[in-house]
Amino acid sequence: MSVAANPNQRFDKIAFLNSSTEDGRSAREALAARYAHVPPEEADVIVALGGDGFMLQTLHRFMGSGKPIYGMNRGSVGFLMNDFSVFNLHGRLAVAEASIVHPLLMEVIDRDGATSRARAINEVSLLRQSYQAAKMRISIDGTERLDQLAGDGALVATPVGSTAYNLSAHGPILPLDAPMLALTPISAFRPRGWRGALLPDTARVTIDILEPEKRPVAAVADHFELRHVRSVDVAMDHATDLVLLHDPNHSLNERILREQFGH
C-alpha cells in the first residue's frame, strides 16, 4: 500500500548503510561527507546504498523497528531503489511517499521433526535438492487443493515480490495494494496445465513434501534456506509493517504498473 509520508514526521537523523561493493562504499563516503549522520539505532530513517539484494538485507535487519528505509541504487536492477544523487537528500526525504508492505511468515518442519521460522519480503520458495522432481501436496486453510504437484518446486510471493522470482517462473504481477498472494509452480511436470493460483492475503498455504527422503526439498525465505523439509506453512504477517520510501512518481505501485507493460 502506498501512502503520503506523514507531514509531521521529520527525518533529521539519518543513517547511511552500504553494500560491500565499491559503488556502495563510495556512495556512502560521498553522502557522509555532505550530511550529518548517526548510528542506525538512533536514526529516524535508514538510507540504504546498494542493489535490491542489499535492500532486502536492510529490511530484514530492521524488521519490527518501524524505521523507514530509503534506498538509492548502487547495484544493477534497483527495482526497490531510488536513483542515486548526493544532492538535496533532505528535500527528497521530505516529499517521499511511503509504501507499507508486510512479510510472509514461513514455518518449517524438517526431516528430524524440528520446527523453524523465518520471514520473507519477496517470496517463500520450495526447491528440489536433487536430480529428481519434487512431489508436493498443497492445502489452503486446511483444505487439500492439489494432491500432487511434481516439478522443480513452488513459491508463494507477496505483491512486492511478484516481479522477482515469481515473474521469472511465469507467475502473475500483483499490484502493490492488492490483498493477494501468488502461488506459482516452478517448472511443473504434473499437472501440466496448472499455472498456479491467486489467493487472498489472509490464506495459509501448507505444502507437504511427498517422498521427502527420495525427493529432498529445500525451503527458502528470501535468502534464508532450510534443507530436507517435510512440511511448510506460509502466511502473510499482517502485524509487521515495513516502510519503504520512494520519490514522487517513482513509487512501488508505479514501478509494478510499468512492469505489466514491459518497462
Q: Which residues are CB-neighbours of 203 under 8 A, at least 6 positions away?
A: 140, 141, 181, 235
Q: Of 62, 70, 77, 74, whose CA–CA distance to 92 is shortest?
A: 70
d(CA 143, CA 58): 36
Is residue 52 part of the annotated active site? The answer reads yes
Catalytic-role residue among 23, 52, 112, 233: 52
The values of phi and psi at residue 94, to 5°, are -65, -30
Q: Which three cell numbers stand for residue 100?
A: 507499507
Cα separation, 208 vs 29, in Å, equals: 48
Catalytic residue set: 52
